[in-house]
Amino acid sequence: MPTTPSNPLAVIAELTHRCPLHCVYCSNPLELANRSSELSIEIWSRVFREASALGVLQADFTGGEPLARTDIIDLIRAARAAGLYVNLITSGLPLDEAKLASLAEAGLDHLQLSFQGAQEDVAQEISGTKSHAQKLRVLGWLKNFRVAVTLNFVIHRRNIGQIPEMLAIAESSSATRIEFANVQYYGWAFANRENLLPTREQLDRSLELIKQAQERRKGKIRIESVVPDYYAKFPKPCMGGWGRKLILITPSGDALPCHAAQVIPGLKFGNVKSRSLREIWENSDAFQKFRGEEWMQEPCRSCDRREQDFGGCRCQALLLAGDAAATDPVCSLSPLRPKVDAILASVNAVPLVGAQHAPPHLGTISTISSESPSSQHSNWLYRPNPA
């Protein structure tokens, strides 16, 4: 029986898959959309109006790099005209102070700036692009505008030792919120998992430093952290639960319950080119698939936590268990939890080497070159940039 959902709270607008960065943990799918398939501003404007009518409060502009859209200012205006709070999630490339002023004038409410590390060398290794100095310039410009700022530091084995430096960057900025988000392992991160997963020692030390910072900066900067699912006792309620709070629109118009949903075989996604957002949200097969509890297997079906974590991440269940309906294997109650424990045992058996805790087969930071991403480190699978 179809489950009647409450209204979504936010629409995640993947405006493009084009991006100047080639991050090895990118959440975009392995098969990227090219520019010719991107939705027009007319369709996006209609989607924003439909979202507002559906009860959506916020539009998160992401990508790829949303600034790659030459009509980004008009897109912000369209979302604001629909009454939505607009959050821009960006690498800061390409951006100059004049363009930032135009974004603010268009009605941008919030800017979330992502960092790959606290130093240029590690940031370049992970993103395949020299971008760190530009991000620091953007931070300086943001002090001149009435735009809320969040700094998102994506944490992994190669930069987890830089948290004190990351905090220093944040504390000298106009940011009111910092997120230390450990990489979650799907998309490009799943392909690079063995080189990204931190050790237990690294994770415990980082959480201690973050807790100290939270106490020290309480009331001044909101500091949040997200641990890797693999180290958790119970899974998180991915995206607040499948088809419960958020709706993601891909660059070509497919409406998804989460970033990685397209990896699940057999799902049919409605497209905003031909269907209204309300029709997709309320009736599409993909959004109905894992709503409610009827689809759950044991131990989820009889678990007291089933209304808290909703069985965990469906995409992670597919990647680790081969079944999207299985209990997320990161859960300590899952019969497949030993598989996750074996992955962690392998990661923790590799000794930490060098100042940035590099796996030995990656060498030290000083070996980073300015060559193309594909040749910097043969052990990384870099995200390409679609045409």
Coil vs helix vs strand at 247: strand
CA distance 348 to 343: 9
Percent of the chain with pLDDT over 70: 92
Cα-based torsion angle of the residue sequence 376, 382, 386, 387 in order, rounded to the nearest 10 degrees: 10
In this predicted structure, what is the pLDDT of residue 350? 80
Q: What is the pLDDT of residues 88-113, one digit of tens each?
A: 999 999 999 999 999 999 999 999 99
Helices (H), the chain: 41-54, 72-81, 97-106, 120-127, 132-142, 163-171, 188-191, 193-196, 200-216, 277-283, 285-288, 306-309, 314-321, 337-348, 373-376
Does pLDDT of 380 surpass 90? yes
Q: What amino acid occupies position 39?
A: L
In this predicted structure, what is the pLDDT of residue 364? 29
Coil vs helix vs strand at 344: helix
Q: What is the mean pLDDT of the chain?
A: 91
In this predicted structure, what is the pLDDT of residue 239? 84
CA distance 123 to 166: 12
> Residue 328: is it exposed, middle or buried by C-beta count within 10 angstroms (0-12/13-18/19+)?
buried
In this predicted structure, what is the pLDDT of residue 358? 33
Q: Is 363 left (phi over 0), alpha (psi -120 to 50) or beta?
A: left
In this predicted structure, what is the pLDDT of residue 359? 33
Q: Is the full-model pTM beyond 0.85?
A: yes
In this predicted structure, what is the pLDDT of residue 365? 27
**Where does the pLDDT of residue 29 fall: very low under 50, low under 70, confident under 90, or very high at 90 and above?**
confident
User: What is the Cα Rg of the chain in Å?
Assistant: 21
In this predicted structure, what is the pLDDT of residue 354? 43
Does pLDDT of 366 surpass 60? no
CB 37 within 8 A of CB 64: no
